[in-house]
Amino acid sequence: MRRSFPFVLAATALATTSWAQPIQNVVLRNSFNPVGAGARGLGMGGAFIGVADDGSAASFNPAGLAQLRRSELALVGFRHAVETTVPNPDTGRTETEKSDHQAPDFFGLAVPFEVGGQNLTVQVSYQRSVDLFGKGRAFTRDTVPFRELRISQPGNARLSADILPEQSGAFHTLSAAAAYQLTPRLAVGGSINYWLADWTSAGTVSSRVNTIAAPGVPTILISSTNRTFRHEQSMNGASLNAGLLLRYPKLSIGAVLRMPFVGRYDLTESGQATDTQPGRAPVTTPVSATMTSRLHWAQTAGVGAALRPFSGLTLAADYSKSGWAGAYLEDVPDGVLLTPLETTPTGESVTPGFENRNFFDLAAASQTTTADTSEWRTGAEYLLSLPKVVVPLRAGIFRSRSPIRELGSGESRRIDGFTVGSGLNFRHLVFDVAFERRRSEGLVGLTLRGGTASAGGESVEKVKESRIVASILYRFPDNDAVKRLLRSLFVGGDTASK
């Protein structure tokens, strides 16, 4: 799955000590549509489902492993930088947040050998499937009737919220994959994947309730709340992937199905909220909660084609679709993860209820606005043959959408990007590098429970992402020791290379 760029669960908070008006949203900067690992595939725009012919094949399409004829060891790492800009509605200045990090991305060992006269390849691998990191900032300015705040006076109040969240962590997968060449043209493959996820969201939320300024009348602060939050989350579970690959002399067609799964989910939440009202001492309330539940992850299906019009040139295109509207957490208590906490008409908390909530917008699973997403990727590779080395030239473009619908328009944020890549391909050793640039923009802000954010209540966030991926691939000599051992264990007979 795609090493995804940061998403942040951002929300608030308490406007007065007698009223809790939760505001929540998810600031999500990527589509979460799965994309495999490796600088070669990324350099081609990530369009690799119909190619999938190297040591990273199983991360795109497990059936592609059947094309290998020599054992391959693949190592991949990346460096990723994100810059977000959003205007401050009070000062008019642009607020910029920058973050970057680097990490191992993929490790895989694939070994092919013959069974029944056809090629069988097995692979064990690790992948950083979903990368969660980065900083964000959001501002909300909204006009709210005093009665919604349970304040006994006529007219409207001005509600302001400033959110500064940060996130780190990742979803990791350990996989065992196999592919078999059923016929000279058709290969099938599959993988068993064990997911281990661990990520933290932390930040601050500052909210204020003021009277609305009138000519000659100063604005009066009614209440303010400063909240800190820290959400430590983890998940583990198992999933299955299946793929097929149909190859012709100049055309290959691939398909992959990443099946839905259910994993154990754990949450530890901490923080505090400090409420201030004029003429009263601040009141600080600690926040502490734990939760064990189950996370339902969505299904993704993808198809791809690769055309080889002449020797050395490959043109590829992929399409995939993910059902994120069906990704949800079971039995989330009210108030956890900054979800709405039910109160009585007088503002007193009631015993928390439990509800299935969509993983992305944390709305009730039956009422979520989270969108299923689709993604297009296309790219090309040209192999320049030089004495003793092959130099690949690669480029690609892609377009995807976020699962989160924009405030106001109801549309999902569009994400556009391009990639370029190259490398050095020797007989046994391959070095590849790729650069990816992504851009997106969209509204960030918070919607009121039971209400709609007013015009101008959100800010337009612009996001620029840069990512460099480097791969090292080692191809073992023919008839290596691991291949001979596997053939001896599972096939028997003559272990000589064929």
14-28, 124-138, 164-178, 339-353: the lowest-pLDDT one: 14-28
Q: What is the pLDDT of residue 179?
A: 97
| Contact criterion met (CB below 8 Å) for 379 and 397 | yes
Cα 370 to Cα 296: distance, rounded to the nearest angstrom: 14
pLDDT for 351: 66
**pLDDT for 368:** 86
pLDDT, residue 494, reads: 53
Instruction: Identify the residue with better confidence: 432 or 275.
Output: 432
Instruction: Give the model's pLDDT for residue 121.
Output: 95
Question: So what's the pLDDT on residue 342?
Answer: 67
Which of the pair, 135 or 296, is modelled with greater confidence?
Answer: 296
- Residue 145 is predicted with a pLDDT of 80
**pLDDT at 360 (0 to 100):** 84
The pLDDT score that the predictor gives to residue 223 is 84
Mean pLDDT of 289-293: 93
Contact 237, 264 (CB under 8 A): yes
Percent of the chain scoring above 90 in pLDDT: 50
pLDDT band, very low/low/confident/very high, at 26 (cuts 50, 70, 90): very low
Q: Mean pLDDT throughout 305-319?
A: 97
Bigger pLDDT: 432 vs 217? 432
Poorest-pLDDT segment among 261-270, 288-297, 319-328, 476-485: 476-485
Q: What is the mean pLDDT of the chain?
A: 84
7-194+203-208+239-260+303-318+375-490: CATH number: 2.40.160.60
pLDDT, average across residues 350-379: 87
Q: How confident is the model at residue 29 (pLDDT cuts 50, 70, 90)?
A: low
Percent of the chain with pLDDT over 70: 85
Do 394 and 419 form a contact (C-beta atoms < 8 A)? Answer: yes
pLDDT exceeds 50 at position 8: no
Say if residue 192's pLDDT is above 90.
yes
Q: How confident is residue 379, by pLDDT bands cut at 50, 70 and 90? A: very high
